Amino acid sequence: MTIDLNPNLPILDYAQFVAGGAEREQFLKNLRFAAHEIGFFYLKNHGIPQDLIKKVQDLSKEFFALPLEEKHQIHMSNSPHFRGYTNVHDEITREKPDSREQLDYMPEYEAIPLDQIPKDQPWLRLQGPNQWPDSIPEFRPAFVELQERQTELAKSMLSAFSLALGQKEDALAHTYAHKPSVLSKAIHYPGVAGEQGVGAHKDSGYITFVQQEETAGLEVLKDDEWVLAEPIEGTFVVNIGELLEIASQGYLKATLHRVAPSPIGSSRFSLAYFLTSQLDATVPLFELPKELQSGIRGITQDPKNPMFTQIGKNFLKGRLRSHTDVAKRFYSDVVLD
């Protein structure tokens, strides 16, 4: 198999998929290997301009340098839609606080009035406006543009995953054709006391892109050992979320990963993107070709992290656990079982 290897994770070339023909077939083989065996890989030649990524990185640093009281004006606890700023130790992963501050934003679909949302679909409350920093005018348009470009890339990658699993190219398209649910984060890991930058977890959606700068910190559980995903310029680190594990009946691997806390006095920045699909969809279960069926592992069963095939339910599960202040203020009536 022709595949570039970092010391720890495979490197896939998206230009091969775009090229079609034999190049595309090789990409699909590499993708199937990386997603089945590890669940993580680097993606190069992804087509998103580096100058746009650099602009968003710089604006992210400008935002995190603002006075804390200004950042708190758009704190997530003000938003029933889980949008806005969270301070260091505000977000919880595996019942412990993370040593990071961040800004979360999603596509701005119109909020549905609370009295029009069925009680058995509380995840529809997630639709609504973002909170943006007023003092940085360039912030919103740059971050929205990056999110929109990453969404197109993510949709294309889902087509690639479908093909790699012997399905029609559009096998998942009906789950993101109407208002796909997307979460993006600008993240700062300041060097402060804390047990974890981000605790060990799996992502709840379909696919994740992480853009790292020059400082390493992301760690992946590979062959029962934690390995470092060293930053590689011009790439995204890509990982499989729980919904792709469900769709493939465990053939694709949603892998535990974590972020080490930054050393005291230092800083680390990253950008993360998550495609979770539309909230009212249900994950299709693929029937894999015979030659792949021996690799079906079944869906991971974790009593502390149940997986739901209903996309909105699976996404809201993660939000409620991670942001207990928002959950307490706006979702005290919601029980997911």
Domains and CATH numbers, the chain: 4-330 (2.60.120.330)
Q: Report the C-alpha gap between 134 and 146 in whole angstroms.
A: 19
Residue of 222, 303, 297 lying closest to 257 (CA atoms): 222
pLDDT at 248: 95
The per-residue pLDDT for range 239-255, each reduced to its tens digit, is 999 889 999 999 999 99
Q: Mean pLDDT across the stretch 152-177?
A: 96
The per-residue pLDDT for range 206-248, each reduced to its tens digit, is 999 999 988 889 999 999 999 999 999 999 999 999 889 999 9
Q: Mean pLDDT across the stretch 163-192?
A: 94
Phi, psi of 114 (to 5 degrees): -55, -35
Is residue 1 predicted with pLDDT exceeding 60?
no
Q: Mean pLDDT across the stretch 123-128?
A: 93
Q: Mean pLDDT across the stretch 269-274?
A: 97
Is residue 2 predicted with pLDDT exceeding 60?
no
Q: Mean pLDDT across the stretch 16-29?
A: 97
pLDDT at 229: 94
DSSP string for residues in 151-192: HHHHHHHHHHHHHHTTS-TTTTGGGTSSS-EEEEEEEEEES-
Percent of the chain with pLDDT over 70: 96
Q: Mean pLDDT across the stretch 64-71?
A: 97
Average pLDDT, the chain: 92
Q: Mean pLDDT across the stretch 63-78?
A: 97
